[in-house]
Amino acid sequence: MQSRLVGKVAFVTGGAKGIGAAVVRRLASEGAAVAFTYQSSAASAKELTASIEENGGRALALQVDVADASALTTAVDQAAQVLEKIDILVNCAGVLFMGPVDNFALDDFDKTFAVNVRAAFVGVKAVLPHMGHGGRIINIGSCNAERMPFPGGSVYAMSKSALQGLVQGFARDLGPRGITVNNVQPGPVNTDMNPETGDFAEALHGLMAIQRHAAPDEIAGMVAYLASPEAGFVTGASLTIDGGFNA
């Protein structure tokens, strides 16, 4: 693995499992010190931290509900104090609630927005005092921001579409400070949230050019690219990695 991120510090939300854990491992393998949040997956967080440290890396796990703006801000400040700065922010924490609009619970709408959109906004605001020129901000969105081909996904799609607007606006705000801001938009990924052996897998594959789920490490590879020096001219973009789901 290349050592493109030696000397860099990353902060990843939702980093204990799934795509988030793959991102944490990949950034650490490229030389970054990584702080990450988790909400309930304490055992996974502990195992991930130990694995990184056993391989000579540095990791810091912080238990945080990212929907709590004060708690998330405190966690960012704590990570910056321990690791001395933050160069890379990856907003990966997310929730998925499905259902038709006529019986979709307002509480589920509010939680979707709080975790998938508001927390990303809060994370960016919290990290900026600790981020200098050359910083990288990366959101994990979804191909559903651009295509929702089945019923019941309106609120999730809305939340991921909102990230596109945030990224375009943030890119304008932060470009003069040398900070890039981008979305990574996965299609189906083999995680606990959407397993490759799940009830909907066959239907999803039927919509795709490459008829399989992605591995979390494939998504982490695109995140690592955006975090690297090679991506210094990429900003305001929503980069889709979906096996042709949106083709």
Cite the active site residues: 156
SS3 category, 144: helix
Q: Secondary structure of the chain: what % helix, strand, coil (to 5)?
A: 45, 15, 40
- DSSP-derived letter for residue 114 is I
246 in Cβ contact with 240 (< 8 Å): yes
Q: Are 37 and 93 in contact (CB under 8 A)?
A: yes
Q: How far is CA 218 from CA 109, 224, 225, in A?
A: 29, 10, 11
Say if CB 218 and CB 19 are below 8 A apart.
no
Sorted by sequence, the CB contacts under 8 Å of residue 87 that are 6+ apart come out as 8, 9, 10, 32, 131, 132, 134, 135, 136
- Residue 189 three-state SS: strand
